[in-house]
Structure 1
Amino acid sequence: MARRPTAPRPRPGTRRAAPTSAPAPQDPAPRRGAPVGRARPAPAPSEPAAAGPDPGEDGGGGGGRVVQAAGRFRELVAGRPWRRRRRAILATVAATVLVLVAGLAAAVFLPALQVQQVTVSGLDYVEEGDVQAAIEPHRGDSVLLLPSSDIAADVAEVPGVRDAKVERAWPDGVRVSVTEATPVGTLTRTDGSTAVIDAQGRELPEAASEAAGSELVPLTADGGAADPEGAAAAMSEVLASMPESLRGSVEKMTATSASDVRFVLSLEDGGTRTVVWGDAADAELKGKVVQALVAEPGTEIDVSSPVAPVTR
């Protein structure tokens, strides 16, 4: 029987070499079809270790205490809920305002809301056509933006109109209520022409004399008057401001200036009395003095200075 070869024995004086370690096992080759370069899944985070004592507090090493600040940074970056709600509310309000403005702008130019119908009331001697002509420039204006004060001012410029009230009449109309001026006298000018005037001395339409009947007082500015227009205005103001009981007894009135108004007063016994009135001031006091002195003898009562009246 053949013998197995034996390993050679080491020589005396030599050291036996240590056995070499086995090579480290390498990662197995990737399977065919597996993605190359994909990172391995990170291990699940373990529970944070209990916080130990701060080395900096007990005089230990120089390290500081670890503070979990992730939550604080998250609040700074992410908007707070009430801020998000405020932005949503502001956006809703802005959108609503834009819709309302757009609707109003569309309504202003809507033909169905433009002035077409005009109704005028309160007329006696003033012609309705004159009032309609004053309103004509405002036809086509929007009823929503109706310039009521402008229309009333234009209507008040019509002869015989004292004032006017303007109201909307939906959807496309306007109602105008007119108050006519009250005629107080018939003025005879220096050139012989006549005109019916109101208490402000404004000339009224001729139809006003028919409306007033025989109640108009003849007013005459003397031919030598330096200011016929001022004299006429003063006479109309005096006639309008004197007491009603006295006005009904005035037969006629004349003036050479605004401060020299006089008139003839008819008495109950059929006689007359001339009254020197002066200017239009202190009408109430002058009226009371005339009524107190009308029974005194004489033909003239001078109340141009009512605190010192004179009878002649």
Structure 2
Amino acid sequence: MITLPRNPLKGSERRDPADRSRRRFARRQWLRRWLVWRYVIGSVLLVVLSVVGVWLVFISSTLTVKHVDVQGSSLLSQQQVLAAAGVPDGAHLVELDLGAIRARVAGLAPVKHVDVSRDWPDGVLIRITERHPVAVVEIAGRFQAMDSDGVLFRTYARPPAGMPRVLSTATVSSDALAEAARVIGSLPSGLAARVDHVGVRGIDQVTLTMRSGATVLWGSDAQSVLKAEVLVKLLGHPARTYDVSVPGQPVTSG
């Protein structure tokens, strides 16, 4: 009987040292070649992706305008907004001048704020915040809505009940109307209910005509909250004219 050695050499240990060296050298050579080809393949893929991206964004019809959505409009119809926006159908989204679209929509009188964005992959979204009336301005027999910025943005056949009324002329500036709007906004509800109308002839020339027939010289919108507090106290003393333009030195007459 032949007895095998108890601790035979493993296969790797029986290999010739030169063979092991050649194998290690081959592995290193393969690794070097792979590192080189890895950068080549990566560069080729990057070029291919760039070409595909350019084609997709600038040439293909995939990312072109197919619909325009309008949100937030009630005074304006969607057709009015779309006509003002002038978004070309079929235009590439990436080439749209959103600023120009925004400016055209903002030119509509009832629009207080507008945001225009791309709605990928094939739409445009227009979000509108419309102006809110705080008073009715009567100019030459026409009734127009005025917002808190003094902007006239729509016409009424009849003034809405309960809305403050402003009497003015066509020559009064928008800054003067804005000042009148701020005065109206500063009036507490109890005092506002006693006002028949607000008159404005120019900057710092705001007057209130009370339902009693008395006239209040308000002046500018500065210190309007204090002026309102002073006027409420003065109205307890009947007079034809109340001057609160300098609230620290109010004057009554008549």
Query: Could you say if the C-alpha distance between residues 283 and 156 of structure 1 is closer, same or farther in structure 2, counting changes exceeding 3 Å?
Result: farther
Query: Could you say if the C-alpha distance between residues 137 and 123 of structure 1 is closer, same or farther in structure 2, counting changes exceeding 3 Å?
Result: closer
Would you say the 8 A contact 1:233–1:258 is kept in 2? Answer: no
Indicate which of 85, 99, 102 corresponds to 1:152. 102
1:283 is aligned with what amino acid?
S
Would you say the 8 A contact 1:152–1:164 is kept in 2? Answer: yes
SS for the counterpart of 2:161 is helix
Cα separation, 1, equivalents of 2:175 and 2:183: 12
Would you say the 8 A contact 1:124–1:211 is kept in 2? Answer: no
Would you say the 8 A contact 2:87–2:101 is kept in 1? Answer: no
Q: Provide Cα deviations, 1:137-185, integer angstroms capped at 9, x if missing partner.
A: 4543333565545433332221211112334444322232322101233
- TM-score w.r.t. the length of structure 1 is 0.57
> Residues 174-253 of structure 1: matches in 2 within 5 Å?
174-189=124-139, 191-206=140-155, 209=156, 213-221=160-168, 227=172, 231-243=176-188, 246-253=191-198
Structure 2 residue aligned with 1:263: 208
Cα separation, 2, equivalents of 1:84 and 1:292: 94
> Residues 47-58 of structure 1: matches in 2 within 5 Å?
none
- TM-score w.r.t. the length of structure 2 is 0.68
Q: CA deviation at 1:262?
A: 0.3
> Residues 1-312 of structure 1: matches in 2 within 5 Å?
94-108=43-57, 109-144=59-94, 147-189=97-139, 191-206=140-155, 209=156, 213-221=160-168, 227=172, 231-243=176-188, 246-266=191-211, 271=212, 273-312=214-253
Query: Could you say if the C-alpha distance between residues 220 and 146 of structure 1 is closer, same or farther in structure 2, counting changes exceeding 3 Å?
Result: same
Structure 1, unaligned runs of 5 or more:
1-81
Q: CA deviation at 1:304?
A: 1.5
**Higher-Rg member (1/2):** 1
Q: Provide Cα deviations, 1:82-101, integer angstroms capped at 9, x if missing partner.
A: 99988767655544543343
2:199 is aligned with what amino acid?
T
Would you say the 8 A contact 2:132–2:147 is kept in 1? Answer: yes
SS for the counterpart of 2:222 is coil
2:242 is aligned with what amino acid?
I
For this pair of structures, how many residues does the alignment match? 224
More helix by percentage? 2
Q: Which has the higher contact order (CA 8 A, sep 6+)?
A: 2
Cα separation, 2, equivalents of 1:117 and 1:156: 20
SS for the counterpart of 2:160 is helix
Cα separation, 1, equivalents of 2:130 and 2:69: 16
Q: CA deviation at 1:132?
A: 0.8
Aligned-residue CA RMSD in angstroms? 3.7
Give me the identity figure in percent.
27
Structure 2, unaligned runs of 5 or more:
1-30
Would you say the 8 A contact 1:115–1:142 is kept in 2? Answer: yes
Would you say the 8 A contact 1:152–1:163 is kept in 2? Answer: no
Cα separation, 2, equivalents of 1:129 and 1:263: 40
Q: Provide Cα deviations, 1:31-59, integer angstroms capped at 9, x if missing partner.
A: xxxxxxxxxxxxxxxxxxxxxxxxxxxxx
Query: Could you say if the C-alpha distance between residues 229 and 143 of structure 1 is closer, same or farther in structure 2, counting changes exceeding 3 Å?
Result: closer
Cα separation, 1, equivalents of 2:163 and 2:227: 21
SS for the counterpart of 2:210 is strand
Query: Could you say if the C-alpha distance between residues 263 and 144 of structure 1 is closer, same or farther in structure 2, counting changes exceeding 3 Å?
Result: same
Q: CA deviation at 1:245?
A: 5.1
Q: CA deviation at 1:111?
A: 1.6
Would you say the 8 A contact 1:303–1:310 is kept in 2? Answer: yes
Would you say the 8 A contact 2:200–2:207 is kept in 1? Answer: yes
Cα separation, 2, equivalents of 1:244 and 1:145: 51
